[in-house]
Amino acid sequence: MIDPIHSLAFSIQANPGVYAVMLGSGISRDAGIPTGWEITLDLVRRLAQLNSEECGSDPAAWYLQKFEHEPDYSMLLDSVAKTRAERQQLLHDFFEATDQEREEGLKQPTKAHRAIAELVSAGFIKVIITTNFDRLMERALEDVGVIPDVISSEDHIQGAMPLTHSKCCVVKVHGDYKDTRILNTPDELATYPTELNAYLDRIFDDYGLITCGWSATYDEALRSAITRAPNRRFSTYWAARGELSAYAKDLIRHRRAQVVPIQGANQFFSSLAELVKSLDTYSRPHPLSTDAAVASLKRYLSEDRYRIQLADLISDEVERVVSETRGPRFPLRGCQGPTGETLTARVKAIEAVCKTLVSLATIGGEWSDEKHFSVWERTITRLTTIHAPNGNVVWITLQRYPAVIFLYAIGISAFVSGRYSLLCRLLTQRIETYNGEIMTVVRLLPPYWLSERGPDVWKQLEGMDNRRAPLNDWMYEFLKPFFRQLTPTEDSFEIAFDRFEVILALAYAVHGEREQECVPPGAFGYRHRNRDRALSEIRDSIEKEASNSPFIASGLLGDSPSDAERAFKAFQNTLSRLQWW
């Protein structure tokens, strides 16, 4: 059978804002706050002292014998403190902490108060009913940035914010300690003013109820308000520590409430808040659609306070891609080897898994600042690092295909947006291969050289049999739809794609760990105009600005113009070998 607290957590998370919390004196007792009756008895002792009498161990009996009626809080307060200022100071000592009490953690919001405040801040709780006079709940709410609407007397109800429009409403049915009209004696607790009864009727009719720390023994008017509620649209949960009173049992039967055994209010509400938050995180819709993912990323990139959410969004998506593309759906051995049909099917299936990540990458390349770079560095490292058992070498190689398309997506976007430092950081990431060799990303991921069997293996892809750079061309078609906003025409995307491949090839010559005589070819090998235009722009920038050129200042083409010049020579050497293109 499901644990009652789990059932309650599910109900709160699934129905935010429809449960009211009702708190009794037990919620504040852990903070060292006396109950109203305890204050009344203390006032009786003070009155006896004023009369030079001893009230013994039963102050209420002494008072009844002497004055022939039950102790009355308001009358007693007036007897021992004549002015309003005196009464305020007297009550202050009961409810406000001294320096020593503060050091001991007394008369401060408890874990229970703070957990409830967290639920309010997150939108799960809107209404709090309490029999307590203290202001611990209000202080806990203010600490999380919620200023509640407080109803502590019938005159507060008129003109009060409607409950549906209130972030949080605290209803103090017995009053506030700074108002001497608080309800305390049995007679006072027997009936409520008409306005308060009507207000409670709306709450108990419209809201589910979570009760904690309330025995129901002394509060006749509150019991009546709960009993007369006509509907039970939402459940009632009664947190109980130990044996319930007969009055509580009657209310539980009447409301068909679910009893939740607890060790204490602090443990109960702390656990409940954690469970609700966990369920909310788990149940929050995964950004399955490109639009939802992009909207989340844009929001997280816009403000520093979202850095954790940004990291979690990307990390979760990366882990999903890794778990799916390296799972049983894409076996490395014990299956048919690569043919035109099987290779095309597997590549398309991997691309389908990666669509959300690619969409995120195009936004990340365009809008990320340096403080975001580490998120993308971790991404490229995670995607590129593979642990390959024995298997078909092409299928093993394809485990890095998500990293390749991610690199192209974020790289094209970053290059178009002038974020050369991000591109440099990604290309120079060092990866340990499955055979223990350390290689940079720029050496591992160029698509033309991705397969150990050479580029011809990718000619098996559907429609690529006559292509000179088959995987590059295949990726061009796959990535094109993702860049419709950044490069709105096909010509502009083609130019951006080729410019990126040119800079990727040049960077390879600089950061490939050893002096390179050639660079990885790309579609620029046969799109001469785009290639020449890109080379000219890069050369002009370096010749005019030298080390201040963004291509040098970012480290993308080395530390000096001479590094870039060596890269140009390697690039030209490669072109001379591609003359047949």
pLDDT of residue 25: 84
CB atoms within 10 A of CB 147: 10
Q: Residue 257 has what DSSP assignment?
A: P
Q: pTM above 0.85?
A: no
pLDDT of residue 127: 96
Nearest to 212 by CA among 112, 127, 110, 142: 112
CA-only gyration radius of the chain, Å? 36
Mean pLDDT of 420-430: 95
Confidence of residue 186 (pLDDT cuts 50, 70, 90): low
Angle between helices 561-577 and 528-545 (to 10 degrees): 160
Architecture label for domain 4-31+107-283: 3-Layer(aba) Sandwich (3.40)
Asked whether residue 1 carries a pLDDT value surpassing 70, the answer given is: no
Question: Picking from 304-313, 403-412, 533-542, which range would have the lowest pLDDT averaged per residue?
Answer: 304-313
Tell me which residue has tokens 């202050």. Answer: 92
What tokens were used for 358? 């690619």
pLDDT of residue 411: 97
Map out the domains of the chain as residue ranges: 4-31+107-283, 36-101, 290-577
**How many angstroms separate the CA atoms of 67 and 74, rounded?**
15
CA angle 378, 485, 358 (to 5 degrees): 30
Q: 415 and 499 in contact (C-beta within 8 Å)?
A: yes
Asked whether residue 316 carries a pLDDT value surpassing 70, the answer given is: yes
Helix (H) or strand (E) holding 170: strand 169-172
Asked whether residue 526 carries a pLDDT value surpassing 80, the answer given is: yes
Mean pLDDT of 525-530: 93
Q: 317 and 363 in contact (C-beta within 8 Å)?
A: no
Q: 186 and 70 in contact (C-beta within 8 Å)?
A: yes
Q: Where are the beta strands (DSSP E) in 173-240?
A: 208-212, 236-240
Mean pLDDT of 320-346: 89
Q: Where are the beta strands (DSSP E) in 57-168?
A: 125-130, 149-151
Asked whether residue 149 carries a pLDDT value surpassing 50, the answer given is: yes
pLDDT of residue 458: 95
Which CA distances in Å does 259 have to 26, 63, 253, 335? 16, 38, 10, 55
pLDDT of residue 287: 46
Most confident of 46-50, 158-162, 191-195: 191-195
Mean pLDDT of 174-187: 74
3-class DSSP assignment, residue 266:
helix
**How many angstroms separate the CA atoms of 568 and 535, rounded?**
9
pLDDT in tens, 261-315: 999 999 999 999 988 887 776 555 444 466 777 888 999 999 888 899 999 999 9
Nearest to 557 by CA among 448, 421, 431: 421
- One-letter-per-residue 3-state SS of 40-103: HHHHHHHHHHHCCCCCCCCHHHHHHHHHCCCCCHHHHHHHHCCCHHHHHHHHHHHHCCCHHHHH
pLDDT of residue 285: 47
Q: Calculate what percentage of the chain has a pLDDT beyond 90.
A: 56
Mean pLDDT of 465-491: 93
Confidence of residue 2 (pLDDT cuts 50, 70, 90): low
pLDDT in tens, 450-463: 988 888 999 999 88
**How many angstroms separate the CA atoms of 51 and 153, rounded?**
33
- Compute the mean pLDDT over every residue in the chain, rounded to the nearest whole number: 88
Q: Which residues contact 329 (CB under 8 A, 6 or more apart)?
A: 349
More confident: 360 or 329: 360
Helix (H) or strand (E) holding 115: helix 111-121
What is the residue type of 60? A
**How many angstroms separate the CA atoms of 513 and 505, rounded?**
14
What tokens were used for 410? 């974020």
